[in-house]
Structure 1
Amino acid sequence: MVRSEGGTDMDEIERLSEAIRFRTVAGNWEEFSKLKDFLERCFPMVHSKLKVSKINEYALLYEWDVGSQEAVLLLAHTDVVPASEEGWVHHPFSGDVADGFVWGRGTLDDKSSVMGLLEAVERLLSEGFEPRHNLLLAFGFDEETKGYLGAKKIAEHLQNRKIRIRAILDEGSAIVKGVISKIGKPIALIGIAEKGYASFDLVAKGKGGHSSTPERNTPLERMANAIQRIFRYRSRTVLTRSTEEFLKTLSRLWGFPLNVLLKNPKLTLPLLEPAFSKIPSLNAMLRTTMCVTMINAGVADNVVPEKVVATVNCRIIPGETAEQVFERLKQIVEDLQIEVVKNENWQVSDPVPDTDPNDEFYRILSETIQQTFLDVVVSPYLTVGATDSRHYKSLCQNIYRFSPLIMDRELLETVHGKNERVSVESYKKMCDFYTALMKKL
């Protein structure tokens, strides 16, 4: 094990703290190399007993081969989003341990998963344990920038080797506490499906000129109308199996009348949809969403721009495709003389459909959650954000997304925000969860 400056063995909290200090933001490639060297020092048995491969230089693949026909694939990522010091109680790359927390960028997303998985394997190797299935740990390095250089390359590597994958577990939903109204119990949300991801550019062109004598129907005026339409537009309601099962779980936790109304969501959703659509988290689980995220126009404050470009980010409900959303966007703005284009960097991920929550691996996940965290309700869930797991969907249909961390509303808001931190107790539970899970695989 790695030793601290005082000469004593580092524990799991100190190792996580140290890992946070590596500023593994996309482009800081030297930091990724330093992190890899650190992992080798931290987990000597992992790196001597498992086959370790570098994929596309900075992605890491660990193979615990016990000779089985199938493997279970456990995913995480070493990259983090940027962070400035402003507004942080502790420096975002300090890894400070204070007030019962480890502080810093990546403590929740997603270095805790990287370190927790390696802690579990190191523990099990030291005990002489062998899993029933081959275990693979795959760590991408560009999940925050869509995963095409890391996870996608690992998936291609595994596919070329014709490795059979039994099930996949990635980060994603967590154990939420006090987040859902009127529910006191923590709920462990296992993502069994994932929304798709696509961005399109709206392009308006026309006559510019001097702002002292503005004309009507300028590119900017037309774009403003288009943006307003998009924000008002509501896609059709789609009840996926993941959302249906989630609503049924809520029916067992909520009181009257929602407990009755949600017992059969297929029947009652038309009654509840208007109210659910006003709640952003529920609305995102019921339909494809479109959101204008960037606008590029103008060169000076006294010049009417000749060209305006707005980017629309779409999160696509399972059952629809990026091409269908593309056609729908064109219909929304077709009378405004605005072109909808796939930009030169256009990269798209269609939705990942529902995995069967009756599958054996879901049962194992659920059992392990309940044994590790005790008084917790487990529920299927639709993951509305994008994860690296989408790049592996051609390898396996049984894909799950779950981070074994307990998070309240305040902690959830720190992911990609200020003062990201994980409690010491929660991280130790995470390591225990991964250890217990691997013993069942």
Structure 2
Amino acid sequence: MTFGLDLSPLRSSRDFRLLWGSGVITILGTTLTVVALPLQIKALTGSSVAVGAVGAVELVPMVVCGLWGGALADALDRRRLLLWTELAQGGSALVLVVDSLLPHPAVWPLYCAAAFTTAGAALQRPSLDALAPQLVRHDQLASAASLLSLRWNIGAILGPVLAGLIATTAGVAVAFQLDLLSFLASALLLFRLRPVPTAPSAERASLGSITEGLRYARQRRDLLASYAVDFVAMLLAMPTAILPFLADRLHATWALGLMYSSFAIGSLLVGLTSSWARRVHRHGRMIALAAAGWGAAMAGAGLVPNVWVVLFCLVAAGAADMVSGLFRSTLWNGTIPDELRGRLAGIEVLSYSTGPQLASVRSGWTAAALGVRTSVWAGGLACVLAVGAIACALPALWRFDARTDPNARAVRLRRETAPQPAAL
């Protein structure tokens, strides 16, 4: 078994390179806001509940726009959808910039911008997830998934560090300004993508087309289990919203940027050695084991009193999350027909995005009621138990094998006989 990072998708596909580069820029800028926004709310309110409420205002846009974005991704040019939703998110960043420059910044524009940004990201993500497999060869799916995760890691590692420095020197306004510039630069790269016209038989985006996607997902127990595992892992064991308060409890406010970066550092360590993933066929087992590992690492982070051990636990959690995400993406891209890929990607947005939004509310309330550290370790333990229960209740995920699964074989045959993506 070899280790390393497979760069063949970047070498062989011009459009994948553009898509990857656009993502690096966007994620770097967005991560600045991910750190600066709760810091701004904390500074204005001093309340963990107010910080956690960001997840509540983001929930409805995530659900509605995630499903609708999936239907649009199967009905329209996915490249055009990416471009317009990128510009829309830039508009939200502009709102944050304007509010932060006021003599007395208000809290409500922060919630409005968070909700609108979430709506744009939810509309965009299904097109992104559905487009990426079209730009690479079928045998490069696992490598492409690893590279797409790697671009998030780059932004998530550098972003919190930069945000921490900027927030303490130039202020959160500069972080919001850089985020705005990142959306504009990313849009320029997306503009250079070749158009991706839909098939003549593509369905119009409608409630009926969304229902068809939901019906397909319901029939696939392995997919349902993968969605459920990711949802409970994020809901129960994602403490991002209360990390500023955890740093306070550990008397280590200097470590806040490192806490945010730790998840990405762990993911990066896995991503840089992910060539082995191409040789794994039982994707479901890896998803379940890695999700349980995420919960165990979070339980450790809540229990230990030493900030350096906490950081180690967060790095381990990030590594486990990367393994789970890598094999979820490979399972989804390798078994879902392309004509349904956008709508199923919309469902995936709900599974891996609504969990963190609700987790902000859960962690904020439990931290206020039971204490910050209890909120972290109890959530991690609950995650381990919940993942085990799902694996028992929906054994199709544990039994999944890409070599014998009929859905995987059908998609592999279609893609191997279809024209391959152009190299340049």
Would you say same fold, with TM above 0.5?
Answer: no
- Give the structure, 1 or 2, with the largest relative contact order (CA under 8 Å, sep 6 or more): 2
- Normalised to the residue count of structure 1, the TM-score between the two structures is 0.24
- Normalised to the residue count of structure 2, the TM-score between the two structures is 0.25
Decide which structure has the larger Cα Rg and report it: 1
**Greater share of residues in strand:** 1
**Greater share of residues in helix:** 2
